[in-house]
Structure 1
Amino acid sequence: MVTVAMAPSRLTRISSDISLPLLFAVLQEGAIVAYRAPSRQPSRKAGHMQTASRTPEHKKAALTTARILLEIKAVNFRPEEPYTLTSGWASPVYVDCRKVISFPRARQKICELASNAILREVGYESFDAVAGGETAGIPYAAWISDRLMVPMLYVRKKPKGFGRNAQIEGEFANGARVVLVEDLASDGASKVNFCNALREAGAEVSHAFVVFFYGVFPGALKALNETGVELSYLCNWWDVLEVAEQDGLFDRKTLEAVRSFLHDPVQWSKLHGGRAE
């Protein structure tokens, strides 16, 4: 889905098969185009699943975010000694978005891009609060809520004590529309727990936002889609690889290993001792 905003007060939704001449004409008129991850399910070889239908604006924000993450060394390429992600996949790449907290200018820019994306993709007056997931999502929720001038909440991984709000910290009205904010997502499954906790406490949750989305694993959006939550993000591994190649940040052998993983992450994971399906 491509969303075109001709003015803050008027949003027009256009299908993703919009003709290029029409899209360019809209862009020339100064419209704002926002991207949301498609809900359709990818094929088993999911290496390109989140690279299609990206708008120029989203692509620019993605490359800026990727360049920042590379500059602060939040990105790690380690094909010879793969990482095992919490989801069980073996991966030659790992990103630590938590490092952003120590770089004020980097976090300011990333939160600016994130806030703009949320306003475009969720709406200016379509949410009442943002909630960070324990623990890495908490600082992002704090920074973004401050920029957007909305209340901040945070969600625990497990309840503390008893009662309706045992898993939630912060004040919100029953029926409040909450956007879940996290640092990253590999397959989206861990976000379901946070969304369900917010709903059980009386909030309405239909959107989640992450700074970084792996965007390569099969069925990556399935868990969230099944709970009625749409995921938006700033950048993925294809963006990081593009910047790394442009800037010559890693040797060719390393980049080729990463590219092999991105083209067929399931097979790569299986061959390196990780999850196989």
Structure 2
Amino acid sequence: MSRDSHQAITGRSISRLLLEAGAIQVSQDQPFFLAAGWASPVYVDCRLLVDRPRWRRTVIDLAIATLRRSPSLDIDIIAGAETAGIPWAAFLAERLDLPLRYVRKRPLGIGRNAQVEGGSVEGRNVLLVDDLTTDASSKASFTRGLRQAGAVVTDVFSIFHHAVFPGGQERLQELGLRLHYLASWEDLRRLEPGEGLNKAQQALLEHFLADPVAWSGHHGGRGF
């Protein structure tokens, strides 16, 4: 199976799972304000996927399959991003039989290990795990914390990638990071009629995706 075919199948599977879990929320009235400051009429709550064993197993199965399609990926330690990335990092580390760490959003105390908990990462290849990637601004903080502690960080994994806000790809490139993810808004849009959002929700999503920055600015979030 080609990389594109694998991504398409994975994206549809995760999109259906998110819908089944009620993890994709659409607001016709009040926008959601994402952690990075963007306003959006749609919100993805991957934390709901921890509820059921079948959902957790599906996510981790697809995560491992996706990561294994990157032959150059070398992982010694899994590190979960505070807080939503921690359970997924734990599930993944357990399945891969790898050590687990977690990294805080900001330093706690002083010293080169101020952000990293669970043990040393000195000289080790660390995969950073988070539930979402928006514009990768939080990934910069987590990556700096791990590297300050001596880790080698070249790859990050997320369940969902918004992939619509500016600066994300450039930020990842500046950090020297490769992003591995399971689904994005494009995957949700590819679902067959009746599988995804209803017509009104889909219309709102399409209006947002046509110009996410302008939509955000016009609804009280970050703009130009």
Tell whether the structures are fold-level matches, with TM greater than 0.5.
yes
Shift of 1:91: 0.5
Q: Tell me if structure 2 keeps the 8 A contact 1:130–1:141.
A: yes
Deviations, residues 46-77 of structure 1 (Å, cap 9, x unaligned)? xxxxxxxxx01111011001100100101101
Pair 1:226-2:174 in alignment: yes
Name the counterpart of 2:91.
Answer: 143
TM-score between the two structures when normalised by the length of structure 2: 0.93
Distance 2:7 2:68 in 1: 13
For 1:247 and 1:129, how far apart are their aligned partners in 2?
A: 41
Q: In the alignment, which of 188, 194, 197 is matched to residue 247 of structure 1? A: 194
What's the counterpart of residue 273 of structure 1? 220
**Residues 212, 57 of structure 1: alpha-carbon distance in 2 compared, 3 angstrom cutoff:** same
Shift of 1:136: 0.3
TM-score by structure 1 length? 0.76
Cα RMSD for the two superposed structures: 1.6
Partner amino acid, structure 1, of 2:212: P
2:185 aligns to what?
A: 237
Deviation at 1:82, TM superposition (A): 1.1
Q: How much has 1:119 moved relative to structure 2?
A: 2.1
Maintained 8 Å contact 2:121/2:149: no
Flag structure 1 segments of 5+ consecutive residues without an equivalent: 1-26, 28-32, 35-54
Deviation at 1:172, TM superposition (A): 3.6
Task: Quote the Cα distance in structure 2 between the aligned partners of 1:192 and 1:173.
Answer: 17
Distance 2:167 2:7 in 1: 22
Q: 1:201 to 1:156 in 2, by over 3 A?
A: same
Q: For the residues of structure 2 that align with 1:233 and 1:157, how far apart are their CA atoms?
A: 20
In our comparison, the structure showing a higher alpha carbon Rg is 1
Write out the 4+ residue segments of structure 1 that deviate beyond 3 Å after TM superposition. 248-251
- Within-5 A mapping of 1:110-149: 110-121=59-70, 123=72, 126-149=74-97
Q: Distance in 2 between matches of 1:248 and 1:167?
A: 41
Please state if 1:67 is matched with 2:16. yes
Q: In the superposition, relative to structure 1, how do residues 165 and 109 fare at CA in structure 2: closer, same or farther (>3 Å)?
A: same
Matched length: 224
Q: Look up the match of 1:57.
A: 6
Unaligned runs of 5+ in 2: none
Which range moved further: 224-233 or 201-210? Answer: 224-233
Query: Structure 1 vs Structure 2: percent identity of aligned residues?
Result: 42
